[in-house]
């Protein structure tokens, strides 16, 4: 697996956040590329975290934070649990479809716009949500780095 360095940009805040989020998304997908469903389900750490669960979790996290909490729209993804019929290919497809919905919401909003559906949590704006998703995606891409290396020795971003 090739090591792909983060892209560089002399752009604005929005462009930088979106570029780095997209880089982390693609880095994560590189970790599940050419991986069998059986390997993606392997529990190699005591927490039981698997690459397939991480993949489903990242799709749900983007939908939860951008589509539901920020935009106030209903959730389409039920949960991030891994069922017996889940596959890497189908989950990658769902994750990529989620990017389209999320990116459309982001593109139509200001970074200063507040979240509409946070319940009793402290208010945050789109800027905070994008930074949080960048952190969440990068964190889980790091988990995926370790899991993939344990599966077959592959390393790189």
> Where does the pLDDT of residue 29 fall: very low under 50, low under 70, confident under 90, or very high at 90 and above?
very high
- Which among 3, 140, 154, 142 has a CA at the least distance from the CA of 59? 140
- Report helix, strand or coil for 50: coil
Q: What 8-state DSSP symbol labels residue 45?
A: S
What does the pLDDT look like over 31-53, one tens digit per residue?
999 999 999 999 999 999 999 99
Say how many C-beta atoms besides its own lie within 10 A of residue 8's C-beta.
8
**Coil, strand, or helix at residue 125?**
strand
* Residue 121: closest CA among 41, 65, 48, 77: 65
The 10 Å CB-count burial string (b at 16+, else e) for 35-63 is: beeebbbeebeeeebbbbbbbbbbbbbbb
The pLDDT confidence band at residue 157, using thresholds 50, 70 and 90, is: low
pLDDT, tens digit, 9 for 90 and up, residues 50-106 = 999 999 999 999 999 999 999 999 999 888 999 999 999 999 999 999 999 999 999
> Could you give the domains of the chain?
13-152 (1.20.120.450)
């Amino acid at each position: 697996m090739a090591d792909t360095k983060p892209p560089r940009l002399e752009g604005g805040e929005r462009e930088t956040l979106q570029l780095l989020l997209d880089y982390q998304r693609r880095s994560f997908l590189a970790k599940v590329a050419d991986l069998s469903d059986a390997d993606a389900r392997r529990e190699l750490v005591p927490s039981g975290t698997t690459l397939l669960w991480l993949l489903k979790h990242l799709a749900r996290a983007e939908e939860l934070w951008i589509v539901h909490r920020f935009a106030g729209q209903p959730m389409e993804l039920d949960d991030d649990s891994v069922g017996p019929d889940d596959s890497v290919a189908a989950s990658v497809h769902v994750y990529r479809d989620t990017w389209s919905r999320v990116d459309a919401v982001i593109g139509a909003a200001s970074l200063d716009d507040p979240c509409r559906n946070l319940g009793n949590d402290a208010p945050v704006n789109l800027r905070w949500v994008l930074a949080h998703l960048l952190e969440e995606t990068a964190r889980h891409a790091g988990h995926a780095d370790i899991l993939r290396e344990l599966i077959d020795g592959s390393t790189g971003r």
